[in-house]
Copies of this chain bind each other. A is one copy, B any other.
Amino acid sequence: MEAMRSIIRKYQHKHISLVEAGVTRHRSIFNGLNALAQDQPDCKLCKPEVVIIHDAVRPFVEEDVLLKVVIAAKAHGAAGAIRPLVSTVISPSADGCLDHSLERARYRASEMPQAFLFDVIYKAYQQCSDYDLEFGTECLHLALKYCDTKAKLVEGSPDLWKVTYKRDLYTAESIIKERISQELCVVMDTKEEKEPISYLLEALRNELNHVKVACGALGYAGRDTQHILEQCYSFACVNFMTSDFHKTKKLLSMLEESDLSILYPVVVVSVHFFDFKLVPLSQRMENLMWIREFAKEVKKRNILLCGLLISYSQDEQKLQETLTQGAIIIAALIRERSLGFVGQLLVA
């Protein structure tokens, strides 16, 4: 319970009531239904028309699927998401040999979410036996057995799979990383048309799915800015031909004020164009120090700051190569969101 409470605090969830789990899955669900039925004064929820039962181990359920099972439950009394079977299902005999195999096309895997008219599923749980509560696994089966309610089966999305094995944790991590890495917001003072900038954007678009550009948009806290800060977990802040970090500092303080980084780490790459022939090396070192200091500070708020120096060459082909390399580095930093690279000054 304490772990759940700390999650609720950390992610600032509202409209939530915690109910003690039972020793089995079905007893836990029954406890939840009882809490809803009793309309307790300290319970923020009251008896609903429809309840959704879902597994926390299926973290990627889409709103669309939730809506579908609720609508189907209103019409049929019960509904559940299903998926095609990936493997053939077989029945072993007592000696561990094949007895028979099922015709795969005639069966489905029963998944979550499932939705029920509250009265149907509550009645089913009130009537079901201790054996059901101990060993049963299927709520749809209880609705059928005790209320004669035939659940409507709704096709679920592939993302409904269950985090069961260690490998599923990798998958979950990769899916989250991909989702939050699809969109990069490029913040800059200068106009997009400027030669090297337009090429950098093109190179970034080749590396990433969505690249949004906000030109000077951080000067005021308008609607656009708000929108970006609510949606985007990756930023490249371009400081063109300047060693000033004004833009990056402004972005960092806006990110610190927003709640964006509560859920996932936010990556900010501070991009600087330098002509290595003109800028003395000591200045690079200063940049490094600046980045390291600020990175340490904002890391506490789950913001991962890195610097990227792009060597500004007069030779056009060389410049394009450098910009392509810069885009590859930005994409790698965004995709991996690794604490190991925080405060580093990379060179394209």
Contact A90 B97 (CB under 8 A): no
Contact B167 A86 (CB under 8 A): no
Of B98, B171, B340, the contact of A150 (CB 8 Å cutoff): B98
Provided the pairs A91-B106, A171-B171 are in contact, do residues A96 and B153 lie with their beta carbons within 8 angstroms?
yes
Number of A positions contacting B (CB below 8 A) = 72
The verdict on A282 contacting chain B, using a C-beta distance below 8 Å, is yes
Contacts of A336 in B (CB 8 A): 332, 336, 338
Which of chain A's residues 295-346 have a Cβ closer than 8 Å to chain B? 328-329, 331-333, 335-336, 338-341, 344-346
The verdict on A151 contacting chain B, using a C-beta distance below 8 Å, is yes
* Interface 0/1 of A167-209, CB less than 8 Å to B: 1101101110010000000000000000000000000000000
The verdict on A41 contacting chain B, using a C-beta distance below 8 Å, is no
Contact B170 A87 (CB under 8 A): no
Least CB separation from A80: chain B residue: B98
Taken together, the copies of this chain in the complex come to: 2
Contact B88 A82 (CB under 8 A): no
Q: How far is the CA of A78 from the CA of B101 in the complex (A)?
A: 15
Contacts of A90 in B (CB 8 A): 82, 107-110, 138, 140, 153
Q: How far is the CA of A137 from the CA of B340 in the complex (A)?
A: 47
Contact B76 A138 (CB under 8 A): no
Contact A89 B106 (CB under 8 A): no
In the A-B complex, the 9 residue pairs with the closest CB atoms:
A332-B340, A170-B174, A87-B109, A97-B150, A98-B151, A332-B338, A88-B110, A171-B171, A90-B110
Residues of A whose CB lies within 8 Å of any CB of B are 76, 78, 80, 82-83, 85-93, 96-102, 104, 106-111, 137-138, 140-141, 144, 150-153, 158-159, 161-162, 164-168, 170-171, 173-175, 178, 281-282, 285, 288, 292, 328-329, 331-333, 335-336, 338-341, 344-347
Of the A-B pairs whose beta carbons lie under 8 Å apart in the complex, a sample of 30, sorted by A's number, is: A82-B92, A86-B109, A87-B111, A87-B162, A88-B138, A89-B108, A89-B109, A90-B109, A90-B140, A91-B107, A92-B108, A97-B153, A100-B144, A101-B138, A101-B141, A102-B107, A158-B165, A167-B171, A168-B171, A170-B171, A170-B174, A171-B171, A173-B174, A281-B281, A281-B282, A328-B340, A332-B339, A332-B341, A336-B336, A344-B347
